[in-house]
Amino acid sequence: MSFEPPPPVVAVAFGGYGVPQSDVVECRVHLGCTKEVSSFTLTLQNWGGKYGPSGSIPLSVGMDGVIGIGRGNRCPQIITCRIEGLRYESKPTEHYVHLSGRCWGERLFRRVFTGVFENMKGEEIVKHLLDYYVGLSHNRGGTELVEATDTTYTRLEYENTPVWDVIRYIADSADKNGVIGFDFRVAPDGEFEFFPRNSKTSPVNLIDAIEEYEYCRDIHSVRNKITVYGTSVKKLPEDANDDGYTESTAGWISNGNLTLNSGHVAEDGQKKYSDSWSVEANIANAAVLWMQRSFPSMRFGGADGFKAVSWWMNLYYAPAYYSGFRVRLQTDTNNYFEADLTSLVSSGSGWRKYTLDPTKPTWTRVGNPSWNSINGIRFIVSHTQAVQAIQMLIDHLVFSGARYSAVQEDTASQSLHGLRELVEVDEELYSDNECLLRAKALLDHYRNPAESLIVKSTVIDYGDTPILAGDRVYVELPDIGVSGYFRVESVEYHVDAGAQTLWLTLKLGREARLLADYLYALKAKTEHLSRRKAPA
C-alpha cells in the first residue's frame, strides 16, 4: 500500500513512574472480553538496573499502571493493568526487564460468592458482585455502564463460585429485546462495561487497511436437526382433574353398553378432583366385557415416551366364573402388548387405583406392535362362561412420565452438510410449545457454518478510538465475496520499537443471533433446577 501511517507511539506508567518511550523494546497488549480478560507483555531496556529494586524506577509485581498505544501525536490509553510477572534478563551487552500482567478484570478471579439471588434482574446481580466483591467501577461521568437486561432470575444459588463464573452465566443467559447474550469487559480506562452482544460498533474504517487475512467457514458446529426435551412431567390428558378421558364417552368403544356414571373418584390422596363422571361399560348374559379408549399415536419408553399408565376402576363380575383381567396397549386390534392383572383385581371392592409401567418386562407381545405407536388402551374382564351381569367403571385414566419434546430440522442444511444432530435436555421447559420455541431458536443459531476471520495490518489508523474486544467492525473482502459486520473476539496491539511498526491483529467472528425463546412468559434455560429466570 502507498499509505504510510505515522510511526507508533507508546505511553507507559506504573505506580506513578513514567516509562520513557526510548526504553520500550517491545509491547503487546491483548484485549479480550467475556471469555477472557485483557493482558499485556512489555520488554524494557534496563541499563544500570534502572527498573530494578534499587533503580530510579523500581518496578515491582502488584503495581498498577496504564499503557497507551497510538500513532503520531495520538496515543489513546489501551489498558489499565497490573504487573503480575517481572523477569530480569542480562547479557554482556544487553539488559532487559520483561513485564507481564492483566487488566483490572483480573479482580473478577480473586473472589468467590456463596449465597442466593432471588427475583433479581441480571444487571442487579452484576452490580452487586462488582460493588461488594470485586471493587470495579461501572460508572463513567454519570453514565451507568452495566446495561439493563430483560431477564429476572427467580433463584440463583451458589456456593464458593468464582465471581467470574457468575457474571459469565448472566452474560450467556440474559436477553435484551429478544436476543440472548451480553458481553462484558474492562475498558481501557478501568471501567467495567456490560452490554448486549453486538450493540457496540467501532468507528474505525478497515476498508483498504487490511494487509493480511485468514477467513474460515467451519461446519464443526453446524447442527441441522435439533431435538429438545423438557421436564419429565408431561401427562395426558393435561387437565387439572386428570379426567379428560373419562368425562365423556367420546373416544370410547365397548362390546357392551357405554354410559357416564355419576359415581366417580373425588380425591386421590392429597389431590381433590372437581369432575363429575366416570365412564361405565356394562353387559348382560356374556362371558367377556371390554372397553377401549382410543387416542392419537403415543410413544412409550425411550427418552421422551410415557413411563406410566394409571387409572381408577370399580369392577363388578361373577367371582365363581372369573377367569381374568387384562390390559392391552395396542397399535391396532391385532397388534398389542398385554399385561395380566388377574390376581390384582377383585369384584365389588370399590374404587381402586392401578398403575402400570410400560417399560417393565411384564407385557406379553402379540403380533407386531410398536411402543412408538400406541393408539389405544383396552380393559378386558373375562369369565369361563356367560354370567348374568358385568360392570366396569373407569375414572382418571392418565398417561404420565413423558418428557415434553420437540424436533426441528433444516433439510437444506442437511443436503449441504449431512445430517448433524443436537439433543438438549432442559428441565425448565414445561410444555411441548416451549420445547418447540427452544428448538427453533437453536436451529436458527446452528444451521449455518460458523465464520471466523483473522485480520492483520500495520496501517490501521484508529486515531483516538482504539478497536476493542466486543466491538463490531465492518469488513469487506471482495476477492472472496465476504462483507458485513463481524464481532471482535480479541484484538492485539503489537509495537516493535526496532522496526517502528504497530501491528494490529483482530480475531473476528460472525454467527447467527440466539433468539430468546423464553421471552414470552417462558421459563429460561438454566444450568440447574435451582437456577431459574422469568420474564422481566
* 8 A C-beta contact, residue 1 and residue 459: yes
Q: What gap in Å lies between CA 90 and CA 416, rounded to an integer? A: 58
Q: CA 152, 156, 161 angle in degrees (round to 5)?
A: 130
* pLDDT, tens digit, 9 for 90 and up, residues 265-290: 988 877 888 888 999 999 999 999 99
* pLDDT, tens digit, 9 for 90 and up, residues 387-441: 999 999 999 999 999 999 999 999 999 999 999 999 999 887 888 988 998 898 8
The alpha-carbon radius of gyration of the chain (Å, integer) is 35
Q: Which CATH class is domain 234-402?
A: mainly beta
Reported for 12-18, long-range contacts at CB under 8 A and 24+ positions apart, including other chains, are 12/42, 12/65, 12/66, 12/67, 12/68, 13/65, 13/66, 14/59, 14/63, 14/64, 14/65, 14/83, 14/99, 15/59, 15/60, 15/63, 15/64, 15/65, 17/57, 17/59
* CATH architecture of the domain formed by 110-198+514-535: 3-Layer(bab) Sandwich (3.55)
Q: Tell me, what DSSP letter sits at residue 245?
A: T
* 8 A C-beta contact, residue 67 and residue 27: yes
Question: How far are the Cα atoms of 182, 236, 527 from residue 351, in angstroms, in the given order?
Answer: 56, 21, 43
Q: Which of 120, 249, 209, 163 is nearest to 531 (CA)?
A: 120
**Which H/E stretch holds residue 415?**
helix 411-417
Measure CA of the first residue to CA of the last residue in the chain; give whole Å.
Answer: 52
Q: Which of 379, 343, 362, 225 is nearest to 301 (CA)?
A: 362
Instruction: Give the residue extent of every domain in the chain.
Output: 8-104, 110-198+514-535, 225-231+406-446, 234-402
536 residues of the chain, pLDDT tens digit each: 456 788 999 999 999 999 999 999 999 999 999 999 999 999 999 999 999 999 999 999 999 999 999 999 999 999 999 999 999 999 999 999 999 999 999 999 999 999 999 999 999 999 999 999 999 999 999 999 999 999 899 889 999 999 999 999 999 989 898 888 999 999 999 999 999 999 999 999 998 899 999 999 989 889 999 999 999 999 999 988 889 999 999 999 999 999 999 999 988 877 888 888 999 999 999 999 999 999 999 999 988 899 999 999 999 999 999 999 999 999 999 999 999 999 999 898 899 999 999 878 789 999 999 999 999 999 999 999 999 999 999 999 999 999 999 999 999 999 999 999 999 998 878 889 889 988 988 898 889 898 999 999 999 999 999 999 999 999 999 999 999 999 999 999 999 999 999 999 999 998 777 776 543 333 333 333 333 344 33
* 8 A C-beta contact, residue 528 and residue 159: no
Contacts of 177 (CB under 8 A, 6+ apart): 150, 196
Domain 8-104 has CATH 2.30.300.10: yes
Q: Which of 284, 285, 287, 241 is nearest to 264 (CA)?
A: 241
